Amino acid sequence: MHRFYLPPEKCSGNLLTLDHREAHHALTVLRLRAGERLMVLDGAGTELLCEAQPGERDRLTLRVAQRNLIPPPPCLITLIQAIPKGKLIESIIQKATELGVHRVVPLISDRVATHLDDDSAAAKAEKWQHTAIEAIKQCGSAWLPRIEIPVTPREYLASGEKFDLALIGSLQGDARHPRAYFQTFRQERQREPQSLSVWIGPEGDFTPAEMNAAKSAGVLPITLGRLVLRSETAATYALSVLNYELQAGPD
């Protein structure tokens, strides 16, 4: 079934309207006709099964046949991702969305080649948010991750945000397998983590100063194996491992 996205404020009634980009895709690319059924995702936990209605050339009216409420994931994962070269960040956001992240914080670390002023940073974040929208339509997630405006590691750490588990991919000798931290958390708290973050560095990794600043803030170093992974591979690998640990639960 074809999936489309409408923000929650446009999904309140029994009749919905697709316009602009979504209408073009429905009417011109997919050539949907009156009576066909499709799914609308609001990105806030609701799936709407809809039926296309007769309409205009540049918009498509939908009648809501059924609403399904999808609970949020039991653990909200934030990916704190150093921006790689080129358009690789878009691929990372796509894969992160498919792997169920709650949020992506793009980082402008010392070894990141990209330099953004306030206007271009906001424009990039908006563009990357559209990448996440396309990804939920592809994978069927009812929850749209929030893509934040890029910040430096220092700016992010200054926010003082706390998680049940905060992890960082590391090549240093003190890095441990994520399972070790999950086991310790479960033993101490007698529950599963409900919030989790993972930092992934750029090409060349975080600088020693950045790594030490993160560790001083309570971020725990994890190993991603003995091989040196590209940034986009590391992000997908780390999120996959964390999802596995969350779904596996206690031994």
What percentage of the chain has pLDDT greater than the value 70? 99
- Classified as helix, coil or strand, 145 is coil
The pLDDT mean for the chain works out to 93
Backbone angles phi, psi at 71, to 5 degrees: -65, 150
Residue 251 confidence class, pLDDT cut points 50, 70, 90: low
**Cβ pair 48, 66 in contact under 8 A:** yes
Model pLDDT for residues 71-113, shown as the tens digit of each residue: 999 999 999 999 998 889 999 999 999 999 999 999 999 888 7
Question: How far is 150 from 109, CA to CA, in rounded Å?
Answer: 10
CATH 3.40.1280.10 describes domain 76-248: yes
Question: How far is 47 from 5, CA to CA, in rounded Å?
Answer: 10
pTM summary value: 0.93
- Classified as helix, coil or strand, 110 is coil
Model pLDDT for residues 213-225, shown as the tens digit of each residue: 999 999 999 999 8
Model pLDDT for residues 113-157, shown as the tens digit of each residue: 777 777 888 999 999 999 999 999 999 999 999 999 999 999 999
Q: Which helix (H) or strand (E) holds 44?
A: none
Question: How far is 203 from 88, CA to CA, in rounded Å?
Answer: 12
Residues of the chain with CATH 2.40.240.20: 3-69
Question: How far is 140 from 155, CA to CA, in rounded Å?
Answer: 33
Backbone angles phi, psi at 34, to 5 degrees: -55, 135
Backbone angles phi, psi at 100, to 5 degrees: 80, 25
Residues of the chain with CATH 3.40.1280.10: 76-248
> Which CATH superfamily groups domain 3-69?
Hypothetical PUA domain-like; domain 1 (2.40.240.20)
Q: Which helix (H) or strand (E) holds 134?
A: helix 118-139
Question: How far is 192 from 184, CA to CA, in rounded Å?
Answer: 11
